[in-house]
Amino acid sequence: MRSRAASPAILGALSICPMSGYDIRKFVQQHLGYFWKESYGQIYPMLKRMHSRGLVQVRVERQSGKPNRQVYSLAVAGSAEFEKWLAEPPAPPSPRNELLLKIFFGHRGRPQDAIRQVEELRSTHQRLLQEYVRVGKWLHTANAKHPGLPYWLMSLDFGERFSQMQVEWSESSLRELKRLANAASNAAPKKPARKKGR
């Protein structure tokens, strides 16, 4: 699975219900997007590879006045592959964070640039927090009896806590960055005032 011979996100989506490639793309964007990225350009090639390996089945759904849809569902082998992946230890998350790299070396740059970048991070996660509230309400309303609900809420809770931490870190860092910007401004040599001509 780590070799990307099969996408766990696609297998997981199909474990819920059969979907077309478009449905999978929409599902990943709406339900997994806050913690998992899937290359949309790779969904159809990945489905083709998974079908050739016998992991998914495909049927053609005819539509009146519209192009036919290819609807994919999990094959027995795909279900076994997905369950095997669920039991494996996860790969460690990537430690790469460009903003923190910029902050670490921030003494070589301008505080104003760091302030702007941290403000953008705060705004992003403030918007996400509002979105998580909306998603949580929808999950409770539309999926009250679904066995996956407690698991979906746990992943949503992680996103909420992570975004809350980002907002709190941003606000703390902005206070310090503004203090540093003021200190740098006060320490800068003042240009002598020009004498007015007579």
This prediction has a pTM of 0.79
Find the mean pLDDT for residues 168-190: 89
Tally of domains within the chain: 2
Residue 2 located in a structural domain: no
pLDDT band (50, 70, 90) for residue 1? very low
Best CA proximity match to 73, nearest among 20, 22, 30, 23: 20
Same domain, 104 and 77: no
Same domain, 66 and 147: no
Domain boundary, last residue among 64, 87, 110? 87
Same domain, 60 and 127: no
Domain boundary, last residue among 87, 112, 133? 87
Domain boundary, last residue among 87, 108, 143? 87
Instruction: Tell me the residue range of the domain where 133 lies.
Output: 98-187
Alpha-carbon distance of 28 to 40, in angstroms, equals 9
Beta partners for residue 58, in sequence order: 72
CATH number, position 40: 1.10.10.10
118-163 residue pLDDT tens: 999 999 999 999 999 999 999 999 999 999 999 999 999 999 999 9
Same domain, 74 and 139: no
Q: Is the pLDDT of residue 66 over 80?
A: yes
Same domain, 39 and 106: no
Same domain, 115 and 161: yes
Query: Nearest 5°: phi and psi at 58?
Result: -135, 140
Same domain, 49 and 71: yes
Residue the block writes with tokens 């790779």:
42
Same domain, 16 and 48: yes
